[in-house]
Amino acid sequence: MKLPSFRLRITLFSVGLAGIALVGLGAVSWWQIYHVTLSRLDAQIFNLLMYVKGPRKLDPTELYEEERWKQYADLLPNLLGANTEVEIALLVVDPEGNSIYQSPEIIKNRNLYHLLTNQLALTKLSPRISPNKILGQKFSPPPPPTLFYTESTTRGNWRIGTIRLRTIGIGMAVNQQVVRQEMATISSIFLISIPGVLLSIAVGAWLLSKRALRPIDRLSSTIQQVRATGLDRRILTDQIDREFVELIQVFNQMLERLERSFKQASRFSGDAAHELKTPLTILQGELERTLQQVPPGSEIQQRLGNLLDLISHLNNIVRKLLLFSLADAGQMSLYLVEVDVSELLCQMLEDVEMQAPHLTLRTNIPQELKIKGARDLLMQVLQSLFNNAVKYNLASGWIAIDAEQTNKKLQVMIANASKEIPVSDRNRLFDRFYRGDPACTRKVEGVGLGLSLAREIVRAHHGELTLTSAVSGETSFTIILPIIENA
């Protein structure tokens, strides 16, 4: 399975990790800030409640109680230091529980009234303290018991604080909207800053991983240059991070081993060629000489002739095997000349006509189809295809040659009438030493290297040789060769 880009994964991973950390951190701090804000609100309410006790003596006016409380209630938002839209409810009751003052919020919201009275009922009586003492003394006495808690009504959550003195009980409820506003500001700061930080982490990780992967890039570009002919390439370890030096050293060692074994393989083909061809040359030379010295047509000359034929057969096999070993080592170097494919094809057709006059020939060969290639090898390719077309033809069959040149390619199709090739055999046709069904090819001589070698040769020319017959009762091979300019 192919994994998605490593860089992408690194980036996503760091962003994910940082994101989780930031969101967690944000949530915790949001929670903390919420509580701090709430306690601040509590402290403010407490202060206000404490302040309430004072006005009577500090400001002994002739106003009615209710009027005085109303003034006080109007002051409250300012005293709270928040904007005026904060809803504050104030309930003042006498010790018997009859209300002295109700702020408009309570009148509007009876729920609130019940909440406050219930809460007041639960509140303990404050110890008697004179306000002077609270304000003036160094050692403050314990503050009067005040209860704070949050209660929700249809109009939002209220923070409720109550105090009970000897003469009055006061309940105050502040809509938590004020807290919510503050928290909303913090949330929006988080919402902007967290994605911002994540984005910069993503960019950073992307750039960093690119930097980190640079030695890998260099490695892969070198590997791309390594083919059978470029095995002498090495990667320099001069300007490479210490972590990658080992990898590159291992890679270089691998290249070295590969180069050595390739050289060995190609030297093997050279050595084998020498070792096999020297005795073959001697045998052939001696036989040729003896053949001329014996009486023409004598039995011994016939035998010598047969031996000579066998040697040339052997020679042919050795030659092909050596070509294979070169092709496998990627060292089939080609001596490129201009080859007139049309002319080659016509010559082959002439041979076919001589070999098998009973076959019908259908040809479509334009003049002057030229290509840069190794002449002998290309001739060999065409010859083995023609050989097959003749060998595996039907009694009164046909051969069709179709050559054409398109923009950058030369295409030659060689088709012939034939028996059906079983599907299982079709794929094996190009295998080395493969010769089809032994029962039906016994009468046909050959080694079974022709097609396979032909394909190697065509590949060495950067072309392709394929079996293309689609119709039954017909076999056709197609060669496609690129036309290389100034190769």
The SS3 assignment for 431 reads coil
The torsion of the CA quartet 56, 62, 67, 70, rounded to 10 degrees, works out to -30
Contact indicator for 341, 410 with CB cutoff of 8 Å: yes
Query: Is the CB of 186 or the CB of 336 nearer to other proteins?
Result: 336
Select from 52-60, 243-251, 282-290, 423-431 the region that touches other proteins (CB under 8 A). Answer: 282-290
At closest approach, how far in Å is the CB of 262 from other proteins?
A: 14
Q: How many CB atoms lie under 10 A from the CB of residue 63? A: 12
Query: Is the CB of 161 or the CB of 450 nearer to other proteins?
Result: 450
Contact indicator for 129, 166 with CB cutoff of 8 Å: no
334 contributes a contact to other proteins by CB under 8 A:
yes
At closest approach, how far in Å is the CB of 233 from other proteins?
A: 21
DSSP string of 164-224, one letter each residue: E-SS-EEEEEEETHHHHHHHHHHHHHHHHHHHHHHHHHHHHHHHHHHHHTHHHHHHHHHHH
Distance between CA 119 and CA 110 in Å, rounded? 14
Size of the site for other proteins (CB under 8 A): 58
281 contributes a contact to other proteins by CB under 8 A:
yes
Query: Is the CB of 120 or the CB of 352 nearer to other proteins?
Result: 352
265 contributes a contact to other proteins by CB under 8 A:
no
Tell which one of 71, 221, 229, 316 touches other proteins (CB under 8 A).
316
372 contributes a contact to other proteins by CB under 8 A:
no
379 contributes a contact to other proteins by CB under 8 A:
yes
Comparing CA positions, the residue from 234, 224, 228, 227 lying closest to residue 256 is 234
Site string for other proteins, 436-465 (x = CB under 8 A): ---------xx---x---------------
Query: Is the CB of 254 or the CB of 361 nearer to other proteins?
Result: 361
At closest approach, how far in Å is the CB of 3 from other proteins?
A: 43
Tell which one of 38, 197, 365, 390 touches other proteins (CB under 8 A).
390
Distance between CA 455 and CA 466 in Å, rounded? 8
Select from 9-17, 175-183, 189-197, 324-332 the region that touches other proteins (CB under 8 A). Answer: 324-332
365 contributes a contact to other proteins by CB under 8 A:
no
280 contributes a contact to other proteins by CB under 8 A:
yes
Distance between CA 182 and CA 179 in Å, rounded? 5
Tell which one of 118, 157, 331, 411 touches other proteins (CB under 8 A).
331
At closest approach, how far in Å is the CB of 473 from other proteins?
A: 23
Comparing CA positions, the residue from 265, 277, 65, 92 lying closest to residue 168 is 92
Helix-then-strand count for the chain, H and E: 15, 12
Contact indicator for 118, 157 with CB cutoff of 8 Å: no
Tell which one of 23, 216, 254, 282 touches other proteins (CB under 8 A).
282
At closest approach, how far in Å is the CB of 285 from other proteins?
A: 4
284 contributes a contact to other proteins by CB under 8 A:
yes
Tell which one of 168, 178, 326, 415 touches other proteins (CB under 8 A).
326
Q: Which structure tokens are listed for 162?
A: 């109550």
Distance between CA 121 and CA 127 in Å, rounded? 16
425 contributes a contact to other proteins by CB under 8 A:
no
Look up tokens 């209660």; give the residue: 151
Contact indicator for 103, 73 with CB cutoff of 8 Å: yes
Q: How many CB atoms lie under 10 A from the CB of residue 365? A: 17
Query: Is the CB of 342 or the CB of 347 nearer to other proteins?
Result: 347
* Residue 331 identity (one-letter amino acid): Q
At closest approach, how far in Å is the CB of 211 from other proteins?
A: 45
User: Burial of 446 by CB count in 10 Å (0-12 exposed, 13-18 middle, 19+ buried)?
Assistant: middle
5 contributes a contact to other proteins by CB under 8 A:
no
Q: How many CB atoms lie under 10 A from the CB of residue 399? A: 22
Select from 25-33, 93-101, 274-282, 467-475 the region that touches other proteins (CB under 8 A). Answer: 274-282
391 contributes a contact to other proteins by CB under 8 A:
yes
285 contributes a contact to other proteins by CB under 8 A:
yes
278 contributes a contact to other proteins by CB under 8 A:
yes
Longest CA span, the chain = 163
CA distance to 170, 212, 459, per residue, from 479 (Å): 104, 46, 10
Q: What are phi and psi of 468, to 5 degrees?
A: -120, 5
Tell which one of 243, 335, 406, 439 touches other proteins (CB under 8 A).
335
Strands 409-417 and 474-482, sheet pairing = antiparallel
At closest approach, how far in Å is the CB of 253 from other proteins?
A: 28
Comparing CA positions, the residue from 233, 318, 228, 227 lying closest to residue 269 is 318
Query: Is the CB of 204 or the CB of 446 nearer to other proteins?
Result: 446
Kindly list the residues in this chain that would bind other proteins in the complex (CB under 8 A). 269-270, 273-274, 277-278, 280-286, 288-289, 291-292, 296-297, 299, 301-302, 304-305, 308-309, 311-313, 315-316, 319, 322-323, 326, 331-335, 347, 350-351, 354-355, 374, 376-377, 379-380, 383-384, 387, 390-391, 445-446, 450
